[in-house]
Structure 1
């Protein structure tokens, strides 16, 4: 095991690209603020909301993956566990950015984003008045602080438990059982909080309340499926990057195959939710329900709405169905990029149709801000990878991961 490359060294080109992307993001935010901040603030804050929430959720999906596989006693991911651990570290900077953006929108009374912020309008709107018990600044801010704060705290605890073994090998079977039990407890705590936030309340507040007259009980699951398949794609990209640099020697095409399975399976799951949500609302033909889909299916967003189905369903279905494709580094990398881009576009229409029903305004400002977030993910993940051994070698299940066969 000592012959393995356990310590990641950040390549100069990787670091320079991350700095360049962050610089593009900063410039885009500054230019966008002067372009839209005064006369069209909804345009500026919609872009910031779109990108900050999307990239926060896909990086937080890495810790969900770790905790879910821990609870399932899944050992196969230990060969590359330090990759999702490093990605989950991005929740700290991205969580802070998202928190600032959300607080600025709510405390800045940006009612063009969230109509429920207009108190006078709420008083004369029966639907919004009925939802005022949770669609109010106090509830929004408290739940946002709790959501992001506990994602960071519980994620830190899971990473701490994993890295504790680097310098403290388990001396006995009893210690191993104690460690597994402790990991299981903390994983369960994260999963429960994840269920209460990402799979429940948080998407209702951050995203669904943009269209406050409409609601869907499937919305949180739809958001989760989108962010999780993008998160798995992000993990696959970093695993392939490290393999190409000569790291992660114990990771084989068997592990890549399983990552490809997740990308394929959750693309199908996302499509199931996409179709079910649309079909049920279309079939009911209730005005307050169909109002959400009308500008997306019949309006100017029609192209983007159905582009989601092509990029996020048809492409993964056709290209990842074959076993050989899921074991090929090039095909998995290309599909991972397409999936992340496709769901970024999906989040765009989830945010922008509410405040801008009559026109699509996707431009260089949006791509520039997105580039900045990509740079943050690269920089933060690279630093986290360099600070700890790439092998979770003292984990009780590590051997099973090395001999993994699918």
Structure 2
């Protein structure tokens, strides 16, 4: 069997990614003209609509692409070799993190240090002095801490991701001896452990508190970061699966077969249930306690204008995966897996939409919120999809598609479920 080691970017694919990025850029420009450029204190909520759309999309797609490196490191720590045959796909997706990270950092800094305080109320120093709750959190929730932690997060993700990708590619032209193979796996295990620790301190802990939960700074949930992780990790697996299927349909990844697709399907199934478990636990505990400062978060989402989106994303993110992936044959079907992965990515994008939008779009006088016309949000999302497509395939094209000297490649070739 002849193995195609080098990926060649199709012209149509290149054009599609460019078109999607153009749609995203055009959507940002239009939304800025209609909302972001409005001046005056009376238009704060209007301007917040623009920044909330950028915040939601940038953070969502950053966390989804970053989940690819967590996937690599978690399986490395478990010494699981089944994913090695398509490891370069996962590495290529993780290469998007520095690019989207820069975009996200610019957006976050513009929101934090801008003149408006509708998205992050805690950035208004005068308001904080008259708000006992925000004043009590000010030692943690302040501009300096936010900026420093955001820099540590983004630089840490980017550098460690680069380090782990470089180690993988360094052995492409070197056949390892037994001792060299052991050292390689040990080094990979150590660096993967470092990354997982950072991931635990950021994605599973403080970072979602800063970037997302502080939008509703009076409200808090101890399960919020785990909930955010589950949402973006299952979406990250869906993204990996889409690229694997795409490459298989274009006659690449000859060593990857339906056994690997089945294992990815199992992970989609399992983590969709895990996300639902966290969703239910967070909601149930708040509902059962019935404490006003906690239930306010679900007021607009469960009984207000976001009720439809709230239950729609539950149907997409729980019922669809559990029903469609119940059978063995469904996990091995390219068409079913492609459709479901697109649905999951969209469903968790909706989840982030209802996590971000109600707070900034609440009128400070009437305390009422609304669901905005979502066409521009879809356009911005398509722009990020085009950017991920663009960066991922360029990373794929630079290096061999098969990590042929990885000590666990044989285990991956003979993988079965």
TM value normalised by structure 1: 0.98
Aligned partner (choices 365, 372, 381) of residue 383 of structure 2:
372
Counterpart of 1:14?
Answer: 13
Distance change >3 Å, CA 362–CA 68, structure 1 → 2: farther
Structure 2: any 5+ residue segments left out of the alignment?
A: 39-45, 363-368
Deviation at 1:362, TM superposition (A): 3.7
Cα separation, 2, equivalents of 1:220 and 1:262: 20
Q: Is the 1:103–1:141 contact (alpha carbons within 8 Å) kept by the matching residues of 2?
A: yes
Structure 1: any 5+ residue segments left out of the alignment?
A: none
Q: Is the 1:109–1:117 contact (alpha carbons within 8 Å) kept by the matching residues of 2?
A: no
Deviation at 1:254, TM superposition (A): 0.4
Cα separation, 2, equivalents of 1:356 and 1:34: 18
Deviation at 1:399, TM superposition (A): 0.4
**Cα deviation code 1:89-113 (max 9, x no counterpart):** 0001100000000011001143100
User: Is 1:386 matched up with 2:400?
Assistant: no
Give 4+ residue runs of structure 1 displaced > 6 Å after superposition.
none
Deviation at 1:119, TM superposition (A): 1.3
Counterpart of 1:92?
Answer: 98
User: Is 1:311 matched up with 2:311?
Assistant: no
User: Is 1:280 matched up with 2:285?
Assistant: yes
Q: Is the 1:5–1:248 contact (alpha carbons within 8 Å) kept by the matching residues of 2?
A: yes
Deviation at 1:33, TM superposition (A): 1.1
**Cα deviation code 1:297-325 (max 9, x no counterpart):** 00000000111110000011110111110
**Cα deviation code 1:195-221 (max 9, x no counterpart):** 000000000000000000000000000
Q: How does 1:201-216 map to 2 (within 5 A)?
A: 201-216=206-221
Q: How does 1:49-198 map to 2 (within 5 A)?
A: 49-170=55-176, 172-198=177-203
Cα separation, 2, equivalents of 1:169 and 1:296: 56
Residue correspondences, number: 404
Cα separation, 2, equivalents of 1:279 and 1:83: 38
Cα separation, 1, equivalents of 2:141 and 2:312: 31
Cα separation, 2, equivalents of 1:250 and 1:181: 25
Deviation at 1:32, TM superposition (A): 1.2
Greater alpha carbon shift after TM alignment, 59-68 vs 122-131: 122-131
Deviation at 1:120, TM superposition (A): 1.4
Cα separation, 1, equivalents of 2:407 and 2:210: 40
Cα separation, 2, equivalents of 1:109 and 1:318: 48
Aligned partner (choices 218, 224, 227) of residue 222 of structure 1:
227
Counterpart of 2:30?
Answer: 31
Deviation at 1:43, TM superposition (A): 0.7
Deviation at 1:137, TM superposition (A): 0.4
Q: CA RMSD in A?
A: 0.8
